[in-house]
Every structure is written in C-alpha cells, then in structure tokens.
Amino acid sequence: MRIFFKTKKLQKICSEESESRKQLGAKCGLKLQQRMMELKAAQDLADISRLPPARCHELTGNRTGQLSVDLVHPYRLLFVVTNNPYPERSNGGLDWNGVTEIEIIEIADTH
C-alpha cells in the first residue's frame, strides 16, 4: 500500500523508531512501528484486520471519512483514503479491496 503523510513531523514519527519512542513512549512507539509495517506490507486495506489486534475501522460523527487502527489504548493511528477515484462498492460505502493509497493524518485519542 502507498502511504502519504499530512506533515513531515508525522512522517518522521511514523518512519523512525527512535522518534516514535521519543514522542509516544516505548510501548506506543513500538506498536506504531508494527502498524506501519502492516500497512506497508498490505496490498490493500482489506488485508488489515478489522478485529483485534489492529481493529481497522471507519470512524463516524465529526470524523466521518477517516479510518483508524489501534495503537496502545487510548491512542489510534488515523488516516484517510487518497485513491482517485475513491473506491466505492456498487451499493455504496468504501470498497476496502480498492484502497491502495492512504494518508496518515494524526495519532490521537478519539474517545
């Protein structure tokens, strides 16, 4: 999967183990590195588990259009689909098999 980043700072946190540990702590930094490896290795979003441990899922409310994977509770890695055209199923909704490009937008506690 192709991965883009909203900011250079976020790219550094997600790409460098030492920076992720510095910014997020040892446990969460390690989990972020694991999630980044999973995302990079995936052919498409359907390859990422929707069940624990990754629990990839679409968000709702004021975060509609965003997706997340769990890091260390309560933090999540948030991203949006950047495929053009946007991959939709024939009956509506996101076609996870068609998502091959994402943009990491934030690491946050969405609760």
* pLDDT tens column, 7-53: 999 999 999 999 999 999 999 999 999 999 999 999 999 999 887 78
61-111 pLDDT tens trace: 999 999 999 999 999 999 999 999 999 999 989 999 999 999 999 999 987
Write out the residue range of the structural domain in which residue 40 sits: 2-109
CATH number at residue 85: 3.30.2310.20
- Tell me the backbone φ, ψ of residue 46, rounded to 5 degrees: -65, -20
CA distances for 46 relative to 61, 63, 73, angstroms: 23, 20, 23
- The position carrying tokens 């509609």 is 64
Provide the number of structural domains found in the chain. 1
